[in-house]
Amino acid sequence: MNKKRIFEGLPIMALLIFIVGTAGAELINGGFEETRTVLEKDPIIKTMQTRNWKFDEPLLFPSGWKVNPNTKDGEYRLIKDAGQSQGGNNSIYIKGHFTIDKTIPVTKGDEIELSFYVKDPEQKNVVIYFYCYGKNDEGRTMNIGALNFTAQATAEWSKKTWKLTVPENIKDNKLYQVIVALSSVTGAYFDDVEMTHKKAE
């Protein structure tokens, strides 16, 4: 059964080092059609190698997206095959976390709907995270936890939708920004991620 809850575990803290960006545009390139080549000198490559990630070289990320490399034994592939994608020419395979590379400003009462297509021959659960950020006493951005949504993948492409109203606080800290992350512990394919964001009046 699909469910939404506040993520309470500590491991999420270790996943945040590489993904905090400045406040930017809403989710873009959710079909993964536009891509960029990651330069060999980019530190994310060394981190992925150190943590035993499997990935193709040269490393290609969809523009506006990247892996969160801090989990161990992850796997990432950009699938450039229209016959395997839900829509367009590209989809992605991820075992680990795959995130947008900029934060999205939010306020209490905002209505967000995030939809995506997923498939996994093993039909395991996938989890969508909103990594949540507030500010410390010095006004600096800090992680304050996460919201998440769990869905069971199917053997063929199926659409999943997460609807939520943005809370004012996470763990007694005011929520200002979120980062979208797609994740699978065992590995799954994702495509056509879309988000609508209705600001509170």
Is this structure's pTM higher than 0.85?
yes
Q: How does 153-177 read in b/e, with b if 16+ C-beta sit within 10 Å?
A: beeebeebebeeebeeebeebebbb
Q: How many CB atoms lie within 10 A of CB 108?
A: 12
Q: Is 95 exposed, middle or buried (0-12, 13-18, 19+ CB in 10 A)?
A: buried
Phi, psi of 66 (to 5 degrees): -165, 165
Angle at CA 49, nearest 5°, toward 44 and 53? 95
The distance in angstroms from the start CA to the end CA of the chain is 32
| pLDDT on residue 201 | 78
How would you classify the pairing of strands 141-152 and 3-7?
antiparallel
User: Would residue 46 be called left, alpha or beta, if left means φ above 0 and alpha means ψ between -120 and 50 degrees?
Assistant: alpha
The model's pLDDT over 95-145, given as tens digits with 9 standing for 90+, comes to: 999 999 999 999 999 999 999 999 999 999 999 999 999 999 999 999 999
12: pLDDT strictly greater than 60 = no
pLDDT, mean over the chain: 89
The model's pLDDT over 31-48, given as tens digits with 9 standing for 90+, comes to: 999 999 999 999 999 999
Superfamily of 3-198 according to CATH: Galactose-binding domain-like (2.60.120.260)
9: pLDDT strictly greater than 60 = no
Residue spans per domain, the chain:
3-198
